[in-house]
């Protein structure tokens, strides 16, 4: 039962958020009558039915919602100058029913776009109760199993076996042909909150085989360490949003919006943030990390929280940095002379006023101040989460070498303000053709890339297993986590 406590810790914020959202919209829906929902401009809000998920819509570091679907629909609503009203639903089937019934303008949350959907009509109400936007991302159904169990190579290896999937999640439609072609397999729908719960059951050995989306499998790779992917169950399918047939104009506006964010790179940046690999933590290392999260982290958490209160740097990000630097060992000393919990150099410690680098309290607070200062010194145009990744890279290699890599990105016609581009140019600083043109010369530029990847991987785990800290007095703009 290794993941049961973490499962509760992870999803309790989501449940509370869902209840709050549902309560907030009750007055609106009760006043206007859910079957006669007015146009968004008339209602003065965009009503969105949401199915929460670990990559699409979930509580972020400071407790507020984030996720790919969240960020996109919030951006759209902001452009429309409309606030969002969120109606939480438990499964994809209920979401589709609510939107088709006119209870919400739009339905979002990891929905698969049906095949052969007709284009949205230009004007007036439609005869169809439901419309679909263009796709914004793709995913496929994959078979997963326990690392300790038998690994199937094909369908013949699964004859007579039970294969579970989350009932009414929408994924069952993506592999319906497979279910029809292989009746010898015992397909087992399960009523669970999300794919995370199913992955936890596979990880604990309670379910032998399961079907989840490739996105859910990738997001959970550092949490459910005994779960591995066997093979895909079909072609990739598009994720899209459902729109009530009463509002074809909204569907047209959403299509135009999604097409635009594809062209201008916004969608690529968001999908990279939420879906792209972080630099997967090795299974053995991640297993040790999970054990130390349970056994060691509680003793140091008050110091991380105090540093967040003082500097605004999110405590779980600080904990991730500390683990990467010292494995939470206050006496750690490297061969190069950096010491303590946050592996500060003697010069950095002196600059930050640290009298004793082996004092965990001083070390953590100094590292938090240093990260905050690095973020403050970056150009203002660099937005989150790239700003945080840049600060972490500078924490590892220094602002000067980071700036050299940004200049090289500009030379290579890449975006110097995007981490995904600069992480490509940092390793080049170790090559003569490049470091001879750099202001600060040679640098082991691969080190900060690996450092940021590892910190992000640990941070992902902490975000999914540890609660956010809410300061009593919140300073505007203080939260530094992405």
pLDDT of residue 18: 39
Question: Is-cis flag, bond preceding 385, omega within 30?
Answer: yes
Nearest to 216 by CA among 241, 242, 195, 239: 195
Which of 69-73, 287-291, 424-428 has the weakest average pLDDT? 287-291
pLDDT of residue 24: 38
Is the pLDDT at 310 greater than 90? The verdict is yes
> Coil, strand or helix: which one is 171?
helix
pTM tops 0.85: no
4-136+238-274: CATH class: alpha beta
The rounded distance, in Å, linking the Cα atoms of 140 and 235 is 6
Is the domain spanning 283-465 CATH 1.10.530.10? The answer is yes
Does the annotation count 325 as an active-site position?
Answer: yes
Which of 115-124, 189-198, 365-374 has the weakest average pLDDT? 115-124
The catalytic residue among 325, 347, 384, 403 is 325
Quote the tokens at residue 258. 């999604």
Domains 141-235 and 283-465 agree in fold = no
pLDDT of residue 366: 92
Is the pLDDT at 112 greater than 80? The verdict is yes
Q: Long-range pairs for 252-255 at CB < 8 Å and ≥24 separation?
A: 252/120, 252/122, 253/76, 253/80, 254/76, 254/106, 254/133, 255/120, 255/133, 255/134
Which of 21-25, 407-411, 467-471 has the weakest average pLDDT? 21-25
The rounded distance, in Å, linking the Cα atoms of 57 and 110 is 9
Is the pLDDT at 254 greater than 60? The verdict is yes
Domain range list for the chain: 4-136+238-274, 141-235, 283-465
Spatial contact of 50 and 17, defined as CB atoms under 8 Å apart: no
Quote the tokens at residue 186. 């015992």
Q: Where would I find the H helices in 264-359? A: 266-274, 283-295, 297-311, 315-326, 346-351
- 106 falls in which pLDDT band (50, 70, 90)? very high
More reliable by pLDDT, 474 or 377: 377
More reliable by pLDDT, 282 or 375: 375
CATH annotation of 141-235: 3.40.190.10
Which residues are CB-neighbours of 311 under 8 A, at least 6 positions away?
A: 365, 368, 369, 371, 372, 480
């Amino acid at each position: 039962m290794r993941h049961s406590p973490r499962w509760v810790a992870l999803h309790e914020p989501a449940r509370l958020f869902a209840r709050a959202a549902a309560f907030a919209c009750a007055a609106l829906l009760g006043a206007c009558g859910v079957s006669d929902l007015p146009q968004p401009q008339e209602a003065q809000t965009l009503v969105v039915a949401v199915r929460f998920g670990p990559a699409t819509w979930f509580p972020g570091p400071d407790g507020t919602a984030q996720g790919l679907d969240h960020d996109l629909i919030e951006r759209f609503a902001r452009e429309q100058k409309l606030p969002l009203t969120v109606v939480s639903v438990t499964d994809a089937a209920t979401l589709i029913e609510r939107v088709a019934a006119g209870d919400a303008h739009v339905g979002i949350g990891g929905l698969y776009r049906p095949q052969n959907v007709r284009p949205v009509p230009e004007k007036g109400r439609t005869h169809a109760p439901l419309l679909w936007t263009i796709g914004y991302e793709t995913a496929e159904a994959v078979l997963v199993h326990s690392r300790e169990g038998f690994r199937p190579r094909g369908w013949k290896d699964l004859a007579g076996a039970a294969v579970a999937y989350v009932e009414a999640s929408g994924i069952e439609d993506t592999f319906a042909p497979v279910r029809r072609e292989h009746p010898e397999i015992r397909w087992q729908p399960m009523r669970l909150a999300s794919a995370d719960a199913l992955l936890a059951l596979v990880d604990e050995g309670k379910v032998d085989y399961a079907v989840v989306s490739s996105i859910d499998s990738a997001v959970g790779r550092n949490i459910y360490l005994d779960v591995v992917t066997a093979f895909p169950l079909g072609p990739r399918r598009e994720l899209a949003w459902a729109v009530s047939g009463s509002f074809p104009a909204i569907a047209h506006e959403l299509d135009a919006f999604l097409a635009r964010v594809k062209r201008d790179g916004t969608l690529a940046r968001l999908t990279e943030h939420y879906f792209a690999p972080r630099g997967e933590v090795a299974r053995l290392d991640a297993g040790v990390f999970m054990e130390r999260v349970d056994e060691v982290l509680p003793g140091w958490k008050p110091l991380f929280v105090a540093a967040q209160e003082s500097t605004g740097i999110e405590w779980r990000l600080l904990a991730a940095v500390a683990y990467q630097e010292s494995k939470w060992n206050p006496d750690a000393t490297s061969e190069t002379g950096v010491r303590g919990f946050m592996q500060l150099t003697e010069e950095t410690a002196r600059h930050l006023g640290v009298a004793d680098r082996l004092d965990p309290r001083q070390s953590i607070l100094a590292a938090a101040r240093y990260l905050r200062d690095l973020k403050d010194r970056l150009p203002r145009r660099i937005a989150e989460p790239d700003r945080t990744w840049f600060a972490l890279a500078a924490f590892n290699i220094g602002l000067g070498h980071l700036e050299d890599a940004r200049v090289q990105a500009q030379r290579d016609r890449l975006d110097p303000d995007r981490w995904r581009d600069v992480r490509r140019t940092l390793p080049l600083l170790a090559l003569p053709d490049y470091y001879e043109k750099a202001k600060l010369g040679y640098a082991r530029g691969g080190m900060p890339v690996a450092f940021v990847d590892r910190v992000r991987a640990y941070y992902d785990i902490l975000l999914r297993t540890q609660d956010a800290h809410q300061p009593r007095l919140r300073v505007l703009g203080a939260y530094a986590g992405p």
